[in-house]
Structure 1
């Protein structure tokens, strides 16, 4: 694609150019305590059903249900042998098929007595009850949750395969530089499963930015700031000088001055320095790129009716922040976000460039945020 400077480039076209040829990165094996929130990669299925044998659900006396038939508090049943005490999670002794509560065996006399009967399987987790053999340990492409790690630990496995793209983040310093926008984008990238190098801060001239791009190490490069038409904005010029610019001025609101590029095969996204514009650019451009690199499954949408009308400018893809109010989406901000709206939003959607918006009551699909934001 030839570089497009000045005229607006449609979001769909820009995204297609950005993702062209981008493939998921190779999986990496990590210890479980480093994988929460990462995007899982394919792993061998479970070799043996879990648990591998019957275990106790609760603390109590391991017994054979047949030996307790007829026992009650009014008619204690003497037992020929002392039952086995077992802790929750312990393997059931051979020949035992139920667990009786601690106070239902009377051990005060010369012979233990049962004060209640039990059905086979009472208080017992049967072998294979948790997961059958051949089931996937994790769902490749899904974000790893605490429940996923519980399942893997219970199978005695200490590592998980994940895809962690390496992201370089370059903060193009403003005259009165404050890196809060860069830190915000870095936090979002990490929460999406990427590994972010330390934030690099460079001067605002084109030569410094071009030098920072270096040899394009990493799987994705994100630049923050210097994308506008200000006298000190030189990020786009630096990309053009390196022959890396693909498109500048995306038909996106907020975030219209964002740019995309490619250097030595590495995709580049340049975001405006204002936090709301950078946030919109992250949702529309960076998140899809990280999702492609991690092999993440297609994000699911939640469909609810709009509480009120949303208006949009034809020709621009406008990002809308939403708050869920019972069974409806309440628009918080369209095309211009306060920090409060960013903090309170539950979900977001993009109004296509060819739409003027939607009327109140229209069912719309929105992407729920993966916190933290």
Structure 2
């Protein structure tokens, strides 16, 4: 059942708007992607590994494969004669039968007629034992988490060429193609890709309501985003376009920045109309679009980092204000609250939404903030 939102003309709380967008929403079906296209996508369920990794003991370094018992007492002062020249192995090679350690190149002297060891080793030295990297029965990738370069390494080591992912298909409509608001459309599209979504970008034929309403029709998608035309300007008719199509749920959210955002539903597809100004679009993206992406991709709850505030955050009661934060010397330093500069947006490490019933937080308060995906 669709959530009830305030009548037109009243501010809708961030919580109510997000609830309406998420209502009945389920993760998209998994698809398989080649490993070279899977980085940053959210992993879906995969069968467990049938065998441990590595499947057999391998050399961890270049050197001589030996048996530790044959080397006891060997040193530079007391070389130990070996019955034969040991097998040479490169890192990653399977260990020869009967060998349980790898000596470095300079610890075996093969210059004379009889090979000599000038150092000893303990069993397992220089060797990565079978199953040491990953036990059998472990998943090749962790469902609900973004695939990292290390995940792809595990998959390649295990012989996989593709992985199951949940990659929501997002259609982005640039309402103000050719104007300054196009920068915000690019920001939104690039942010979507950073969060693992597949993006299809189109332009509305014009800024008037009829053209915007017509642009809503198009190929199927999991989330429909429009950028621009949400304010009080004479050519701002995006919310009116949604209303004409009967898909508008709310226009104007108790959010800062991003208060002119509109939301709707086109059939079962969530619709978010982001403001054209970059800071407004970015704040609405973080607070409304990101949670929808998480639901569609089946992502586990995003990790947050708890640090004390280096200085207070003051917030207006009745509005959910977005704060951008920078981590400095073990504390969160507020860069911007409710009004973002471009510099603050590029320097931010994390963000948080100050609830509408809060006046903010005092300096020293431990705060849980959500890291941004491209923060250093």
Q: Under a length normalisation based on structure 1, what TM-score does the superposition of the two structures give?
A: 0.97
Task: State the distance in 2 between where 1:358 and 1:342 align.
Answer: 21
Question: What per-residue deviation string (whole Å, max 9, x for no partner) do you get for residues 231-264 of structure 1?
Answer: 1111011101111101111110111110110012
Helix, strand or coil at the partner of 2:332: strand
Instruction: List alignment gaps of at least 5 residues for structure 1.
Output: none
Helix, strand or coil at the partner of 1:198: strand
Deviation at 1:11, TM superposition (A): 0.6
Helix, strand or coil at the partner of 1:320: strand
Match of 1:206 among 206, 209, 234: 209
Task: State the distance in 1 between where 2:204 and 2:61 align.
Answer: 57
Q: Is the 8 A contact 1:38 1:164 kept in 2?
A: yes
Residue aligning to 1:23: 26
Task: State the distance in 1 between where 2:97 and 2:142 align.
Answer: 35
1:331-346 aligned within 5 A: 331-346=334-349
Q: Is 1:349–2:349 an aligned residue pair?
A: no
User: Which segments of structure 1 move beyond 4 Å, counting only runs of 4 or more?
Assistant: none
1:177-256 aligned within 5 A: 177-215=180-218, 217-256=220-259
Q: Is the 8 A contact 2:177 2:204 kept in 1?
A: no
Of stretches 251-260 and 169-178 in structure 1, the one that deviates more from structure 2 is: 169-178
Q: Is 1:323–2:313 an aligned residue pair?
A: no
Helix, strand or coil at the partner of 1:37: coil
Match of 2:74 among 52, 60, 71: 71
Q: Is the 8 A contact 1:170 1:202 kept in 2?
A: no
Task: State the distance in 1 between where 2:226 and 2:276 align.
Answer: 9
Residue aligning to 1:109: 112
Task: State the distance in 2 between where 1:175 and 1:87 align.
Answer: 58
Task: State the distance in 1 between where 2:352 and 2:120 align.
Answer: 59
Deviation at 1:72, TM superposition (A): 2.0
Question: What per-residue deviation string (whole Å, max 9, x for no partner) do you get for residues 120-157 of structure 1?
Answer: 11111111111111112111111111111111111111
Helix, strand or coil at the partner of 2:201: coil
Question: What per-residue deviation string (whole Å, max 9, x for no partner) do you get for residues 317-355 of structure 1?
Answer: 000111112121111111111101111111111111111
Q: Is the 8 A contact 2:174 2:201 kept in 1?
A: no
Instruction: List alignment gaps of at least 5 residues for structure 2.
Output: none
User: How many pairs were matched up?
Assistant: 373
1:110-189 aligned within 5 A: 110-173=113-176, 176-189=179-192
Residue aligning to 2:313: 310
Helix, strand or coil at the partner of 2:21: helix
Q: Is 1:91–2:94 an aligned residue pair?
A: yes
Helix, strand or coil at the partner of 1:298: coil
Deviation at 1:70, TM superposition (A): 2.3
1:179–1:336 CA distance, 2 compared to 1 (3 A): same
Deviation at 1:101, TM superposition (A): 1.3
Task: State the distance in 2 between where 1:144 and 1:220 align.
Answer: 22
Q: Is 1:48–2:83 an aligned residue pair?
A: no
Q: Is the 8 A contact 2:350 2:375 kept in 1?
A: no
Deviation at 1:80, TM superposition (A): 1.5
Q: Under a length normalisation based on structure 2, what TM-score does the superposition of the two structures give?
A: 0.96
Q: Is the 8 A contact 1:216 1:264 kept in 2?
A: no
Q: Is the 8 A contact 2:348 2:375 kept in 1?
A: no
